Copies of this chain bind each other. A is one copy, B any other.
Amino acid sequence: MTITATRDEPRLSVGQVAKRADVAVSALHFYETKGLIRSWRNAGNQRRYKKDVLRRIAVIKAAQKMGISLLEIQETLSKLPESRTPTKEDWASMSRFWQAKLDEKIAYMTRVRDMVDGCIGCGCLSMKSCPIYNPDDIVAKECNGAVILDQPERARAAKN
């Protein structure tokens, strides 16, 4: 009896998902083409979603707020087990993964801030040795002594 009740999970239409997750229908289509979410079709070829798509979308949005690209999000989400609905621990470990990335980014930005601070503030801006003045070695060698600024450079690296 309760079994029957649990069994006929109600599937959501794209409109319902859009409303509840506060994203545009077009975005849901888009996420699907990118493999971020999945849908089933009803007899009339309309998308039907399992409820846990809401959590997936919430996680996608949270990750985006962290500045993580959809590609990276997709890659991470794809590690979730397809066979079962992800558990709390699944989401938690994903969260830890992204937090580490965030920490990296925060650290990176802090280094940039300090570099700008140190270099523009220290008076060397007018000198040949200043990393800000000499764009070539904007990755400061002088000024504040070996500031390592090279984390979020994957995009550029990929480009070249």
Contacts and interface: CB of A to CB of B under 8 A. Distances in A.
Interface of A: 20-23, 54-55, 57-59, 61-62, 65-67, 88, 91-92, 95, 98-99, 102-103, 105-106, 109-110, 112-113, 115-117, 120-121, 123, 125-126, 132-136, 138, 149
Contact of A135 (B22, B92, B117): B22
A105 B124 CA distance: 26
Given A22-B136, A58-B138, A132-B62, A91 B109 contact: no
A115 B62 CA distance: 9
List of 6 A-B pairs having minimum Cβ-Cβ separation, nearest first: A95-B120, A58-B135, A102-B113, A21-B135, A58-B132, A65-B112
Nearest to A137: B22
Most buried by B among A61, A92, A132: A132
A88 B113 CA distance: 18
Contact of A133 (B22, B54, B132): B54
B88 A116 contact: no
Contact of A109 (B57, B61, B106): B106
B138 A121 contact: no
